[in-house]
Amino acid sequence: MSQPHSLDFTLDPLDNERLASLCGPFDAHLRQIEGALGVEIANRANVFRLSGSEPALGAAARLIKALYEEAADTALDAAAIALRLSQANVDDVVLRSYAAQDVAVKVKRGTVRGRGANQARYLHQIARHDINFGIGPAGTGKTFLAVAMAVDALNESRVQRLILVRPAVEAGEKLGFLPGDLSQKVDPYLRPLYDALYEMLGVEKVTKLLERNVIEIAPLAYMRGRTLNDAFVILDEAQNTTVEQMKMFLTRLGFGSTAVITGDLTQTDLPKHISSGLRDAIEVLKGVDGVSFTFFESRDVVRHPLVARIVNAYERREQATRPAASHNDNSDTP
């Protein structure tokens, strides 16, 4: 593992308008570069200091200098930064040459950190990647940590809205018979997300953000045809998506957005003859740059200790019966 290094440089000539364009609102463009290249960027006016692995420092410095030149006659936005990052063709060695950093999320009730290596890795992956999968049994913090990262992104103005999405248990999402408007129909299915939001922001603030549509709730079927820019999108209970629904959801992502998909492959409610979109995505997207996967295990459960033992008991039973279910699309292992 490379030791951390630092690199200092000055952007000339000093031009406050170019600097503002380069850094972005609330330094959002710098944070975008940090996440992509695995460096830390600090600056005072046009004097910059980069910290990170040696290969990544050179790539980041070249990119920042090029963007500063471009800002002389072009207004930079998140899309422009993303395009330049993709054109930079940074070698994988650069992206993987630094250690996972401890991600701490400040919320209303204190600071949220990963409990254990897997949760810490999950937070770090969400900070670095645009599309993230958290897969594992109940109680491992998949949804709670995703909401914490979403709240942090909203508080820091890295995104403009939070979008909470969940398949409504049935693959067909037949919500029409339920009483109330769309929000009231979907609310019961989104209760775990609401609980996490209430804990981190407080009920009053969540209510106001919902009224202003800064926080939006939607059943998965209602996402078709949309493009989601500057948003943090969480798809919960993703094991209950079909292959077509998962592909539709993943292709909604726009510039400046982050998506987190959470699910537990052992609790699929789809009919036996329908393949899980989450399982299919694991196979199809393996190795795709910009997509991260974090797999949780029973040892990552942070609920009552008995929950971990229950998960282990079911896993043992499933392993014992797996040969008989080898042809089942909804088998219980990735």
Task: Give me the pLDDT at residue 251, please.
Answer: 92
Q: H or E stretch including 79?
A: helix 78-88
- CA–CA dist 16, 31 (Å, integer): 19
The answer to whether domain 5-95 and domain 105-325 are alike in fold is no
Q: pTM score, two decimals?
A: 0.64
Query: What does DSSP say about strands 258-263 and 131-135: parallel, antiparallel, or unpaired?
Result: parallel
Q: How far is CA 214 from CA 150, 161, 209, in A?
A: 12, 5, 5
pLDDT value at position 323? 57
Residues in CB range of 48: below 8 A, 6 or more apart: 8, 9, 10, 11, 41, 42, 61, 64
Which residue stretches of the chain have pLDDT < 70?
Answer: 1-4, 83, 86-103, 107-109, 168-189, 302-305, 308, 322-334
Q: State the pLDDT at residue 219.
A: 82
Q: CATH assignment of 5-95, given 3.40.50.12160, 2.60.40.10, 3.30.1370.10, 3.30.420.40?
A: 3.30.1370.10
pLDDT of residue 3: 56
pLDDT at residue 315, as a whole number: 77
CATH placement of domain 105-325: 3.40.50.300
HSE of 100, CA atoms in CB hemisphere, 13 A = 17
> Taking the domains of the chain in order of start, what are their residue ranges?
5-95, 105-325
For residue 67, what are the CA distances in angstroms to 49, 53, 119, 179, 186? 16, 21, 34, 53, 44
What's the pLDDT score for residue 325?
45
Q: What is the pLDDT of residue 43?
A: 94
